[in-house]
Amino acid sequence: DTEVIQTPKHLVMGMTNKKSLKCEQHMGHRAMYWYKQKAKKPPELMFVYSYEKLSINESVPSRFSPECPNSSLLNLHLHALQPEDSALYLCASSHPPGGGPDTQYFGPGTRLTVL
């Protein structure tokens, strides 16, 4: 099973709201990723967790706050977002670096609209 589950599928929020995106995988992967994808563009890496520790933060604004409660779950907490943050947010997982070549498996994404 190569399934990555993301909830919710769609989210509409105001600029003063606090919300969270959730990602779950049960493939035993120990690396998990958040990407942001604007329309007609490739995904852009935001964060990487390896063994539940944040290993890469691609200079993402602090209004995005990732959390990895355990090896199967990844959250992205959102607060005080801007309309330009509206995008498709993708979660992916893989075995962590150093274990040889591996593949990232992506979830279906959460379509976020910030009003």
Partner 1 sequence: AQSVTQPDIHITVSEGASLELRCNYSYGATPYLFWYVQSPGQGLQLLLKYFSGDTLVQGIKGFEAEFKRSQSSFNLRKPSVHWSDAAEYFCAVAPNNAGNMLTFGGGTRLMVKP
Give the binding site for partner 1 (CB under 8 A).
2, 4, 6, 31, 40-43, 45, 48, 56, 88, 90, 92, 94-109, 111
Question: Which amino acid is located at 46 in the chain?
Answer: M
**Taking the complex as a whole, how short is the minimal distance between the CB of residue 100 and partner 1, in angstroms?**
7
Instruction: Tell me the two tokens of residue 62.
Output: 């602090």
Question: Read out DSSP for 10-57?
Answer: EEEE-TT-EEEEEEEE-S---EEEEEEE-TTS--EEEEEEETTEEEEE
**Taking the complex as a whole, how short is the minimal distance between the CB of residue 30 and partner 1, in angstroms?**
11
- Residue recorded with tokens 């490739």: 42
Q: Which is nearer to partner 1, 13 or 45 (CB)?
A: 45
CA atoms within a 13 Å half-sphere pointing along the CA-CB vector of 72: 8
Q: Which is nearer to partner 1, 78 or 92 (CB)?
A: 92
Instruction: Tell me the two tokens of residue 92.
Output: 């992916």
Whole-angstrom Cα distance, residue 95 to residue 23? 16
Q: Which is nearer to partner 1, 3 or 15 (CB)?
A: 3
**Taking the complex as a whole, how short is the minimal distance between the CB of residue 66 and partner 1, in angstroms?**
17
Q: Which is nearer to partner 1, 10 or 16 (CB)?
A: 10
**Taking the complex as a whole, how short is the minimal distance between the CB of residue 27 and partner 1, in angstroms?**
13
